[in-house]
Structure 1
């Protein structure tokens, strides 16, 4: 698959797929600051990895994310976390790019990664199921068209989901996806003057 140019989305494009519960509260605290720094929040997760870990995925609107960017976000949000204290225990802060098999949380994510396979879960049953897998074919308004990877008897090859139906979506690793993601990353690093090999994760231990 050849690499195609993508449209750089708006910084303030809303997420269609967001957190719930405590993760949603933390996102509400941090997303304004992350946006003010020039980044887009992708996802927040609280996990039990290394004790308690607050994982924050973010990126620039063009999809780039360097270790310097991760450090900038860490510096920007740490005072907010210290003051608001949303996690009442010691935790590990991890800031990273979305990665190659990234979550798809905005309409522009589906547009920019058309041609690649995604797995999805809907909020409610849609045509008798909640889990789907298919190649992203395109977006029209809030409707996203996919091509099924396997077709059961009586099913159409393509299916359409409304963005509001999707509870979770992420790309599935493939050789084509890895190749295109690396090509895009190399082009963005060159355009932004970032050296190849620079990592895109920042980790901090935080006492609360």
Structure 2
């Protein structure tokens, strides 16, 4: 049920977010304890501020009240995905070139399933990540088809 709600809300939120010159990153609908939470994550190249979150929340609330796709009571939260935002689509990965990333794969590549470093390139459905292995620099080549999860990473 929560995946259906997320998909429905995504379809309702996308035009609102686009109209405000923002990007819809993810919609999450989940139960935590006795409460349901509908979380809408938005972003923009310039970043997201409280006014952006408020504008999306107000417009989306109106649409949700009108369409009423969720039967139980819930809390609506609109926010930025944060500094370590998920990279859900290929377009997200392309925008992350030159930035720190953390990637996990469905199956091991050269004996490992987790890769962290700077995304050097993303071409031909392949991520090239330059990271550290103890004290030396290592280049990892990860096929996009094998990526289980990817997010931005703050490299120290």
TM-score (norm 2): 0.76
SS at match of 2:55: helix
Shift in CA distance, 174/158, structure 1 to aligned 2, threshold 3 Å: closer
- How many positions carry a matched residue from both structures? 149
Q: Which residue of 1 aligns with 2:125?
A: 142
- Provide, for residues 53-100 of structure 1, a one-character-per-residue CA deviation record: whole Å limited to 9, x for no partner: 11111012x141010001110122112211222221111111111111
2:63 matched residue in structure 1: 80
Instruction: Confirm or deny that 1:101 pairs with 2:80.
Output: no
- Alignment partner, residue 54 of structure 1: 38
In 2, are the aligned partners of 1:34 and 1:76 still within 8 Å (CA)? no
Determine helix, strand or coil for the equivalent of 1:71.
helix
Q: Deviations over 1:163-201 (max 9, x none)?
A: x543431123443xxxxxxxxxxxxxxxxxxxxxxxxxx
In 2: Cα distance, 1:146 partner to 1:159 partner:
7
- Matched with 2:50 is 67
Deviations 1:106-149 (CA, angstroms, capped at 9, x unpaired):
43433443241313344xx4759894323222111433222465
TM-score calculated relative to the size of structure 1: 0.59
